Structure 1
Amino acid sequence: MTQAPTLTRDEARTTGPGPARRSRGRRGEELTKILFVLPAAVAMIALFGYPVVKNLLMSLQDYSLKTFFTGQAPWVGLRNYSTVVRDNLFSQAMVNTALFTIGSIVFQFGIGLALALFFRRRFPLGGVLRALLLLPWLLPLIVSSATWRSILEQDSGILNRTLTGLHLVSEPVPWLNSPSVALIAVIGVNIWIGVPFNVTLLYSGLAEIPEELYEAGQLDGAMGWRAFRYITWPNLRSVASVLLMLGVVYTIKVLDIILGLTGGGPANATQTLATQSYERSFVDFRFGEGAALSNILIAISFLFAIFYLRGTRRAVDE
Structure 2
Amino acid sequence: MNGFLGSLRDGAGFDRLLVGLALAYLAVFSLFPIIYTVVMSFQSVDLFTLASFDRPFVGLMNYADILSRPLARTVLLNTAIFVVLSVLFQLTIGFALALFFAQDFPGASTMRGLFLAGWIMPALVVGAIWKWIFAGDYGVLNAFLQSVGAIDGRIFWLSDPSVALYAIVIANIWLGVPFNMLLLSVGLAAIPRDIYEAADLDGAGPVRRFVSITLPLMRAPLGAVISLGTIFTLQQFDLVAALTQGGPSNSSNVAQYWSWQLSFQTYEISLGSTVAVLMMSFVILVAALYTRSTRHEQSF
TM-score (norm 2): 0.91
Alignment partner of 1:224 out of 203, 206, 221: 206
Report the equivalent of 1:103. 85
Residue of structure 2 in register with 1:175 after alignment: 157
How far off its partner does 1:33 sit?
7.8
Deviation at 1:127, TM superposition (A): 1.3
Of 95, 98, 104, which residue of structure 2 is paired with 1:116?
A: 98
State the percentage of identical aligned residues: 36
Which of residues 122, 125, 138 is equivalent to 2:107?
125
1:238-317 paired onto structure 2 within 5 Å: 238-317=220-299
Q: Tell me the CA shift for residue 106 of structure 1.
A: 0.6
What residue identity is the alignment partner of 1:61? Q
Structure 2: 5+ residue stretches without partners:
1-12
Return the offset for 1:70: 5.4
From 123, 131, 143, give the equivalent of 1:161.
143
- Compare 226-235 and 181-190 and name the one that shifted more: 226-235
Q: Is residue 147 from structure 1 mapped to residue 129 from structure 2 by the alignment?
A: yes
Aligned to 1:14: none
Deviation of the 1:291 alpha carbon: 0.3
Aligned to 2:8: none
Measured against aligned partners, the alpha-carbon deviations of 1:114-163 in whole angstroms (never above 9, x if no partner) come to 00110111212211111110121111100110110111011111211222
Alignment RMSD (CA, Å): 1.8
Distance 1:237 1:78 in 2: 39
Report deviation, 1:190.
0.4
Which of 69, 73, 95 does residue 55 from structure 2 map onto? 73
* Matched residue count: 288
Q: Which residue of 1 aligns with 2:187?
A: 205
Distance in 1 between residues matched to 2:291 and 2:121, nearest whole Å: 31
Which residue of structure 1 lines up, in the alignment, with residue 40 of structure 2?
Answer: 58
Q: Distance in 2 between matches of 1:69 and 1:37?
A: 33
Residue type matched to 1:277 in 2?
Answer: S
- Amino acid in structure 2 at the alignment position of 1:96: N
Indicate the SS of the match to 1:142: helix
Question: Residues 202-252 of structure 1: CA distance to partner in whole angstroms, max 9, x if unpaired?
Answer: 111111112111111112222301111222222221111111111111112
The worse-fitting range, judged by mean Cα deviation, of 74-83 and 52-61 is: 74-83
Q: Distance in 2 between matches of 1:85 and 1:253?
A: 20
| Offset of residue 38 of structure 1 | 3.5
C-alpha deviation, 1:75, in angstroms: 2.0
Q: CA deviation at 1:311?
A: 2.0
Structure 1 residues not aligned, in runs of 5+: 1-30
1:195 correspondence with 2:167: no
Change (3 A) 1:233 1:166: closer
- The one-letter code matched in structure 1 to 2:256 is A
Aligned counterpart in structure 2 of residue 184 of structure 1, from 128, 143, 166: 166
TM-score, normalised by the number of residues in structure 1: 0.86
The range that moved more, 226-235 or 142-151, is 226-235
Q: Which moved more, 1:288-297 or 1:213-222?
A: 213-222
CA positional deviation for 1:35: 6.2
Task: Give 1:99's aligned amino acid.
Answer: I
Shift of 1:69: 5.7
Give the residue type in structure 1 aligned to 2:78: N
Q: Counterparts of 1:69 and 1:253 in 2: how far apart (Å)?
A: 27
Distance 1:179 1:119 in 2: 38
Larger-Rg structure: 1
